Every structure is written in C-alpha cells, then in structure tokens.
C-alpha cells in the first residue's frame, strides 16, 4: 500500500470514528436524558412544539398583546403563573384565562380546570395564579388574553416557558 493510500485510509478511519462519536452523543441527548429530580425526559424546545408560542392577530382593534410566565414557588408543591393583557385603549372588560400543562414524557396535558380572571374599564390587566403541582414533572402555562369592547371580543394566546418542579 502506498503512503498516500495509507494516509487516506488513516484519515478515513479517524473521520468515521469522530463522526460515530458525535452521532452517538447526539442520539443520547435526543433521547432526552432525564434530569435529576425529573420523572420524565425533558420536553422538546418550545420552537419545535405546536402551537406556536404566540398567536395574536395584528388586525385586532382593541387587543394589543399578552404576556405570561411560570415559576416555581418557594413551596416545592406549587407553581405561579403570571398573565398580563394589554389593550390599545380603555376597554369594557379585559382578562386572562390560565391553563396549566404537564409534560407526560410524550405530550403536554391539561392539569385541572382553567382559571378565569378579569377586570373592567382598564387598558392593562396583570394577575398571578398559583397551582398545586406534582414534583418530578415539567410544567408550562397556556394563557388566553382577551378584551371585550362595545360587544366585540378579541383573543390571543401565549405558551410560556417550561419549568421542572424537581422531586426531592
């Protein structure tokens, strides 16, 4: 075997070895190694999950925007969701409908019943709700932000970040 062929063979073997190591390392991460304190593998990144993290119609006349986030409370057995709805002007009614989702390892499922909160004659409305949760699971919030003005109802949706409520 010539030295050029030998160098080519060695390079090919090194490339295949390196490629295999990267491929198997990626597969191990894609399988979703379970985090300490978690009972399931983590959910996929939010950009990979339908529906999109936000759905607001730019043609709305009265609903401007909505925001939501989820956080673990100091008590390991509960999570707090903050929801804020913004209107383009003072509206008759403004509100947020909260849904809590738990990751099963395969899909997001609703936990309990939705919680409805609203106010009247405001341009902005912000409120926190707290849910009891089971440790060891990932949770996220889905919030519907809505306004009612002169009999016209407008609504938009947000999907929050997700958090792990670790088990002890």
DSSP the chain: --HHHHHHHHHHHHHHHHHHHHHHHHHHHHT-PPPTT-SSPPPPPGGGSSSPSEE--TT-SSEEEEEEEEEE-SSTTEEEEEEEEEEEEEEEEEEEEEEEEEE-SSSEEEEEEEEEEEEEEEEEEEEEEEEE--TTEEEEEEEEEEEEETTEEEEEEEEEEEEEE---
Q: Residue for token digits 């403004």?
A: 94
Q: Which of 15-29, 46-60, 109-123 has the highest mean pLDDT?
A: 109-123
- Among 114, 64, 117, residue whose Cα is nearest residue 95: 117
Q: Copy the structure tokens of residue 110.
A: 């609703």
pLDDT at 97 over 60: yes
Whole-number pLDDT of residue 168: 74
| Rounded average pLDDT over 23-27 | 35
- Among 84, 87, 112, residue whose Cα is nearest residue 96: 84
Q: Which of 40-54, 74-88, 103-117, 149-163 bottoms out in mean pLDDT, i.e. has the lowest?
A: 40-54
Q: Which of 53-62, 101-110, 122-131 bottoms out in mean pLDDT, i.e. has the lowest?
A: 53-62
Q: Copy the structure tokens of residue 117.
A: 């909160």
Question: Residue 149: how many CB atoms within 10 A of its CB?
Answer: 18
* Mean model confidence pLDDT for the chain: 81
| Rounded average pLDDT over 41-56 | 68
Q: For residue 21, report the phi and psi dihedrals to the nearest 5 degrees.
A: -60, -45
């Amino acid at each position: 075997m010539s030295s050029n062929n030998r160098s080519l063979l060695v390079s090919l073997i090194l490339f295949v070895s390196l490629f295999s190591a990267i491929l198997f390392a990626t597969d191990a991460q894609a399988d979703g190694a379970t985090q300490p304190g978690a009972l399931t593998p983590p959910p996929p990144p939010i950009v990979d999950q339908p529906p999109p993290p936000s759905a607001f119609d730019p043609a709305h006349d009265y609903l401007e925007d909505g925001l939501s986030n989820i956080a673990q409370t100091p008590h390991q057995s509960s999570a707090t969701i903050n929801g804020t709805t913004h209107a383009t002007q003072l509206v008759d009614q403004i509100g947020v409908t909260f849904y809590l989702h738990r990751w099963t390892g395969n899909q997001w499922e609703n936990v309990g019943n939705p919680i409805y909160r609203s106010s009247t004659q405001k341009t902005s409305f912000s409120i926190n709700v707290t849910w009891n949760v089971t440790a060891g699971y990932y949770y996220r919030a889905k919030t519907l932000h809505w306004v009612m003005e002169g009999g016209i109802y407008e609504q938009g949706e947000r999907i929050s970040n997700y958090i792990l409520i670790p088990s002890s």
